[in-house]
Amino acid sequence: MKTMFITLLFMLSINRIYPGLFSSYDKKTPEEVIRDLAIEQIDNPDDPYVNYNLGVALYQTRKYEAAKNNFERAVSNAKNKKLKERSYFNLANSCYKNALSCLPVNWESKSTKIEQDKLAVAIENAKAAVNNYESLLALNKDNGPAKVNLKKSKELVEKLMKKQPQQKQNQDQKQDDKKDQDKQQNQQDQKKSKEQNSEDKSKQDQQDHKDQNGQKDQSAQAQQNQQDQQQKQDGQQDKSQKESSEQEQKQDQTQPGEQQESQRSKESDQQSQAQNAQEQRDSQQQAFDQAAQKESAEEKSMRLMLENLQGDEDSLQKIIIQRQTKDQKPLKSGQKPW
């Protein structure tokens, strides 16, 4: 009945404002009507009748968000009171339908989960429906359908508001459960980590003990090797001393005649070496004396030459002085010679 009323209003409004333009409206689909009115709206964007009729066509195709926008334009630009009331009524209906379209079919069931963003959009549209119905009743308080729809819109808001804390409580409970699970998991992980660390430490201690024993064994072996080497060296030294002692004993056991012969041979060699050394010193002294005599003769010859040269130089100096004195003019009285 309500749909028939809106359709009739839609047809009467168009035929009254644009006679003949939609004379065959009943033969057109809502999509075709939307197309034609959208083209008309381009040239007349603020025409309240075009906006209202386009909103009705969009409402019939369940495009409630787009219908709501066009009804808001009609409310803003309507000068006719009756058109303004109808625009408020259909605007509120669009908001109400838009709220329900955001919710699942069985949204009132406690087990039904609603996405938080969709629930928020539904609450916002339900509150907008309440406001628009109240605006309509402010214009016409005797509008019965508006009163009925206002009551339903308020009930919808209350149900959605109750759904929100319940759902939030469920989400909080799930979050708490998840936190408990995470806490238990962390405790288990820490326990496993401690057990693993304890096991690793035990293995490490065993390995360190094994390494220490190995080092002790190596140290003992090295010490034993050093002792063996020292004993070997001591044995070699004792052997060498023993051989040296045996050699000395052999020398002591040599016959006295051989010792005397050896001693005379040594003395003869020493005398021969001393005689050769004396001959070398005599030869060096003789060569030095000859060089000294030769050097004395050369010095004597050189001294005679120097004396002759000195005498010649003195004679030459005297001749020069005589010539200078001969050519010099007599001095004036009181004049000092140079």
Q: What is the pLDDT of residues 241-262, one digit of tens each?
A: 666 666 655 555 544 555 566 6
Check if the beta carbon of residue 146 is closer than 8 Å to that of residue 155.
no
**Cα–Cα dist 158/153, whole Å:** 9
Judged against a pLDDT cut of 90, whether residue 288 lies above it is answered with no
CATH architecture under which domain 1-79 falls: Alpha Horseshoe (1.25)
**Cα–Cα dist 86/48, whole Å:** 11
- Residue 225 corresponds to which amino acid? N
Phi, psi at residue 114, to the nearest 5°? Answer: -115, 135
Task: Give residue 132's pLDDT.
Answer: 96
**Cα–Cα dist 37/54, whole Å:** 6
Q: What is the mean pLDDT of residues 271-282?
A: 80
**Cα–Cα dist 177/171, whole Å:** 10
Average pLDDT, rounded, for the chain: 76
Per-residue pLDDT band at 47 (split at 50, 70, 90): very high
Q: Which residue reads 């056991």 in tokens?
A: 253
**Cα–Cα dist 58/64, whole Å:** 7
**Cα–Cα dist 214/218, whole Å:** 6
Out of 1-10, 36-45, 295-304, least confident range: 1-10
Task: Give residue 274's pLDDT.
Answer: 77
Element (H, E) at 321: helix 256-327
Task: Give residue 186's pLDDT.
Answer: 79
The single-letter DSSP state of residue 63 is -
* Closest CA relative to residue 52, chosen from 21, 80, 23: 80
* Closest CA relative to residue 85, chosen from 126, 50, 137, 127: 137
Judged against a pLDDT cut of 70, whether residue 125 lies above it is answered with yes
For residues 197, 199, 204, 206, the Cα torsion angle rounded to the nearest 10 degrees is 160
Judged against a pLDDT cut of 70, whether residue 18 lies above it is answered with no
Task: Give residue 319's pLDDT.
Answer: 78
Q: What is the mean pLDDT of residues 53-63?
A: 93
Task: Give residue 163's pLDDT.
Answer: 82
What is the three-class DSSP state of 177? helix
**Cα–Cα dist 73/311, whole Å:** 153
Read out DSSP for 6-45? HHHHHHHHHHHHSTTTTTTGGGS-HHHHHHHHHHHHHH-T
Task: Give residue 293's pLDDT.
Answer: 67
**Cα–Cα dist 37/53, whole Å:** 8
Task: Give residue 60's pLDDT.
Answer: 92
Higher local confidence (pLDDT), 75 or 290 = 75
Read out DSSP for 190-232? HHHHHHHHHHHHHHHHHHHHHHHHHHHHHHHHHHHHHHHHHHH
Task: Give residue 254's pLDDT.
Answer: 46
